[in-house]
């Protein structure tokens, strides 16, 4: 997910003349010109095409889940190509990491992985056009420049569009990408400018862009029934009545890829001439389900009881040790100990899971709204017993991912169903209950934290016993905790440990994975530590951060720069007029509170201040949020960047206040729609989210996730400020 594509002159950039009139620059690992689709100007596996009218088509290679990547990555290419953005058209490429390198929407990695490669693609294309123009005009290439899609010879005053040199450029060898000249930041005309999303007009007009919109000739539809108990399997199935129903095409048993062990079938799909027919027929299936062999009472209440008991014992696994935490706590001037917890969460994407598949002649074609299509290709090939190369994957726009569409179970399901109905496209579509009750959930977690302070209010020791889910000493997916969880590297004595409980629930990454929970836990606890130290949280963090320096990176993750952290803390405090100090809780204007939170995740540094009002002693309303973030030296598309931050903040508010949680009874999720797993309503959003970026010298990093975590503890800390009540469980509730 984080690996950059290997770049070289021969492998990364292959030039192909399509139909003699269009110049196509195709990118990434070995690719022959013959494989590009000669004679097909509309081919999608090209990064750059220049048409006879000088319109420039740029391929967007990564999945678009609303993070703006379909606009941002082409901006990088267009900048170095020196194109006129008004003449640029964007096409989504096929999923093919052998051609394009990593194609993933996750981990906020698109910017750091593609910042240089995409710019080099544009620069190489520009260099080839200049070389062709110099040969055409019989001049030294050094005398030529470019300007918004035109080649310019200043000495003679000649000027011609890129399209005039496309044919000649196509015959030139590709330049060495390591040596192409890139623009200085001061010369950017596209990077750093606010550009609306290329899909926005079509979205507003309701045009079909999303996976759920896929409509193909002779298409049939599938609805799926999956064991309601996680890990359950089919015990008996009587589908005779369903097969006899008008419009029903097939009934298919399969393994959903979610929780059933050993590859046993745990799902039944009904294929029909319409989705409504399939969904109604699904209700008539006579299925009895076998409960999973795994023992234990898999229910929210039993998990909570077990976690409480485990927290009182020593951790079974060490995550991080530094110094002698037990001795430091014994000698501390003051000790603070508290417990924090948070629930399972569903992703609740507005577009429910779906995938369209067509299987014919041993080959599979997918229209898959996947955040990780390469992983989906591998899983699907294995399930069908075909070569990965036999699979073609289209990437429609995704109506919300948040990590759910990294799992690709829906791709495998659609492929298995299509194999049972060869030759016809099959669209698999979950309804809302399917989507929420058969998710890969953000795991619940419980913490017992202890901190020791010296007489000057400095943290001398910190410990955390983290209880979550896993087996054989390994955490479940997304139940990990970083061994360097802030402030581990900044405190003399640290012991982080973990204990894992078994669960049958499928788990997965949710936007800002682990960070969305750890920020609440640690920043909420550190606010309590700050109170014991006689200061506010920003001051405690400044003391703990110390002098600007870069700390060693963990095995997986980015190095931590204390100076960058301090700058965003200072910036948001200035922006929000944070006065410092610690007022008596509840001393502000009746029902008003202010809270602070900081977090470093996905290589981004974010600090946030939240103002709240407590209404009638119970309802918590977020009035305003201030955000300061450092994502490196360059914000590529400021308009989209602000939207990403604002969206992250709203997601965090929803996790804190909307009442989101998944409860398990007898091994099954009880929530099934937005009535019992609510999204944030418009009246719950703040009146303003003030966003400022703090530039640094670091290379640009991503924005999809790091702005989310700090808002959750900031709200909890604001509630304490307003009421004197400390809320240590999510979702936050005063009554």
Q: Please give the pLDDT value at position 24.
A: 46
Q: Please give the pLDDT value at position 17.
A: 24
Q: What is the mean pLDDT of residues 269-298?
A: 94
57, 83, 121, 618, 634 from 49: Cα distances, Å = 5, 12, 12, 59, 27
The pLDDT of residue 290 is above 70? yes
The pLDDT of residue 725 is above 90? yes
Q: What is the mean pLDDT of residues 421-425?
A: 98
Q: What percent of the chain has pLDDT over 90?
A: 85
Which has more pLDDT, 43 or 516?
A: 516
Q: What gap in Å lies between CA 320 and CA 492, rounded to an integer?
A: 12
Give pLDDT tens digits for 31-88. Answer: 222 233 333 322 222 688 888 899 999 999 999 999 999 999 999 999 999 999 999 9
Give pLDDT tens digits for 317-329. Answer: 999 999 999 999 9
Q: What is the mean pLDDT of residues 570-596?
A: 80
403 closest CA partner among 731, 704, 97, 61: 704
Give CA 696 to chain center in angstroms: 23
**Residue entry with tokens 């400022």:** 692
Q: What percent of the chain has pLDDT over 70?
A: 93
**Residue entry with tokens 């950039």:** 13
pTM over 0.75: yes
Q: Where are the beta strands (DSSP E) in 56-188?
A: 56-60, 88-92, 144-147, 150-153, 158-161
Give pLDDT tens digits for 663-710. Answer: 999 999 999 999 999 999 999 999 999 999 999 999 999 999 999 999
Q: Please give the pLDDT value at position 37.
A: 35
DSSP H helical ranges for 385-452:
409-420, 432-437
CB atoms within 10 A of CB 428: 26
Q: What is the mean pLDDT of the chain?
A: 91
Q: What is the mean pLDDT of residues 220-236?
A: 97
DSSP string, 8-73: -HHHHEEEEEETTTEEEEEESS---GGGG-TT-TT-SS-SEEE-TT--EEEEE-S--SSSSHHHHH
Q: What is the mean pLDDT of residues 129-154?
A: 97
The pLDDT of residue 249 is above 90? yes
Q: What is the mean pLDDT of residues 368-372?
A: 98
Least confident of 12-26, 103-117, 154-168, 343-357: 12-26
Q: Please give the pLDDT value at position 27.
A: 35
The pLDDT of residue 628 is above 50? yes
355 closest CA partner among 414, 405, 440, 423: 414
**Residue entry with tokens 């192409």:** 180
Q: Which contiguous run of DSSP H or E holds residue 119?
A: helix 110-137
Phi-psi region of 175 (alpha: psi -120 to 50; beta: other; left: phi over 0): beta
Q: What gap in Å lies between CA 482 and CA 554, rounded to an integer?
A: 8
Give pLDDT tens digits for 597-626. Answer: 999 999 999 999 999 999 999 999 999 999
Q: Please give the pLDDT value at position 23.
A: 42
Q: What is the mean pLDDT of residues 459-482?
A: 97
Q: Please give the pLDDT value at position 624.
A: 98
376 closest CA partner among 401, 418, 412: 412
pLDDT category at 262 given cuts 50, 70, 90 is confident
The pLDDT of residue 224 is above 50? yes
Domains annotated for the chain, with CATH where assigned, are 9-184 (3.30.365.10), 301-344+442-723 (3.30.365.10)
């Amino acid at each position: 997910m984080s690996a950059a594509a290997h770049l070289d002159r021969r492998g990364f950039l292959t030039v192909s003349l399509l139909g003699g009139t269009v110049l196509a620059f195709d990118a990434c690992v070995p690719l022959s010109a013959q494989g590009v689709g000669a004679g097909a100007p509309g081919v999608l596996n090209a990064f750059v095409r220049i048409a006879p009218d000088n319109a420039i088509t740029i391929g967007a290679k990564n999945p678009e889940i609303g993070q703006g990547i379909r606009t941002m990555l082409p901006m990088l290419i267009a900048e170095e190509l020196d194109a006129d953005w008004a003449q640029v058209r964007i096409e989504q490429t096929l999923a093919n990491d052998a051609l394009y390198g990593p194609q993933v929407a996750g981990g906020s990695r698109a910017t750091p992985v593609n910042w240089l490669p995409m710019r080099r693609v544009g620069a190489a294309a520009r260099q080839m056009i200049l070389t062709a123009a110099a040969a055409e005009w019989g001049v030294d290439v050094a005398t030529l420049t470019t300007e918004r899609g035109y080649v310019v010879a200043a000495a003679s005053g000649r000027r011609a569009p890129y399209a005039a040199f496309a044919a000649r450029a196509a015959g030139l060898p590709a330049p060495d990408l390591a040596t192409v000249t890139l623009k200085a930041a001061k010369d950017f005309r596209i990077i750093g400018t606010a550009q609306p999303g290329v899909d926005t007009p079509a979205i507003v007009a309701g045009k079909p862009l999303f996976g759920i919109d896929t409509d193909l000739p002779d298409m049939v539809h599938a609805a799926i029934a999956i064991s309601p108990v996680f890990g359950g399997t089919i015990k008996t199935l009587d589908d005779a009545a369903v097969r006899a129903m008008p419009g029903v095409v097939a009934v298919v048993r399969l393994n959903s890829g979610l929780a059933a062990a050993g590859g046993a079938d745990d799902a039944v799909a009904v294929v029909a001439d319409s989705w409504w027919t399939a969904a109604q027929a699904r209700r008539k299936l006579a299925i009895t389900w076998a409960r999973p062999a795994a023992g234990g009472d898999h229910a929210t209440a039993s998990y909570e009881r077990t976690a409480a008991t485990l927290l009182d014992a020593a951790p079974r696994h060490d995550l991080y040790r530094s110094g002698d935490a037990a001795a430091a706590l014994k000698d501390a001037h003051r000790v603070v100990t508290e417990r924090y917890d948070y629930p399972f969460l569903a992703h609740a994407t507005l577009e429910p899971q779906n995938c369209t598949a067509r299987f014919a002649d041993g080959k599979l074609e997918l229209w898959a709204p996947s955040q990780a299509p390469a992983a989906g290709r591998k899983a699907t090939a294995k399930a069908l017993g075909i070569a990965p190369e036999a699979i073609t994957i289209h990437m429609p726009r995704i109506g919300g991912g948040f990590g759910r569409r990294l799992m690709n179970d829906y791709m495998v399901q659609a492929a298995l169903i299509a194999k049972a109905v060869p030759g016809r496209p099959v669209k698999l579509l979950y309804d809302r209950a399917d989507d929420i009750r058969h998710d890969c959930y953000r795991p619940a977690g419980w913490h017992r934290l202890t901190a020791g302070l010296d007489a000057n209010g400095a943290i001398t020791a910190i410990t955390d016993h983290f209880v979550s889910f896993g087996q054989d000493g390994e955490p479940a997916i997304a139940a990990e905790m970083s061994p360097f969880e802030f402030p581990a590297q900044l405190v003399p004595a640290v012991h982080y440990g973990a204990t894992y409980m078994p669960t049958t629930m499928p788990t997965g990454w949710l936007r800002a994975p682990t960070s969305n929970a750890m920020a609440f836990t640690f920043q909420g606890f550190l606010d309590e530590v700050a109170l014991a130290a006689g200061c506010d949280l920003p001051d405690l963090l400044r003391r703990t951060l110390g002098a600007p320096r870069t700390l060693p990176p963990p095995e997986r993750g980015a190095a931590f720069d204390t100076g960058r952290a301090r700058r965003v803390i200072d910036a948001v405090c200035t922006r929000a007029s944070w006065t410092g100090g610690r007022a008596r809780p509840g001393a502000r204007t009746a029902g008003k509170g202010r809270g602070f939170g900081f977090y470093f995740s996905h290589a981004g540094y974010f600090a946030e201040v939240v103002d709240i009002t407590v209404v009638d002693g119970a309802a918590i309303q977020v009035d305003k949020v201030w955000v300061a973030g450092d994502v490196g030296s360059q914000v590529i598309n400021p308009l989209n960047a602000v939207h990403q931050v604002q969206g992250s903040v709203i997601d965090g508010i929803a996790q804190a206040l909307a009442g989101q949680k998944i409860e398990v009874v007898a091994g099954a999720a009880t929530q099934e729609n937005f009535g019992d797993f609510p999204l944030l309503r418009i009246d719950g959003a703040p009146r303003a989210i003030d966003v400022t970026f703090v530039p640094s010298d670091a290379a640009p990093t991503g924005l999809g996730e790091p702005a989310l975590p700090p808002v959750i503890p900031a709200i909890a800390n604001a509630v304490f400020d307003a009421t004197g009540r400390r809320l240590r469980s999510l979702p936050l509730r005063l009554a």
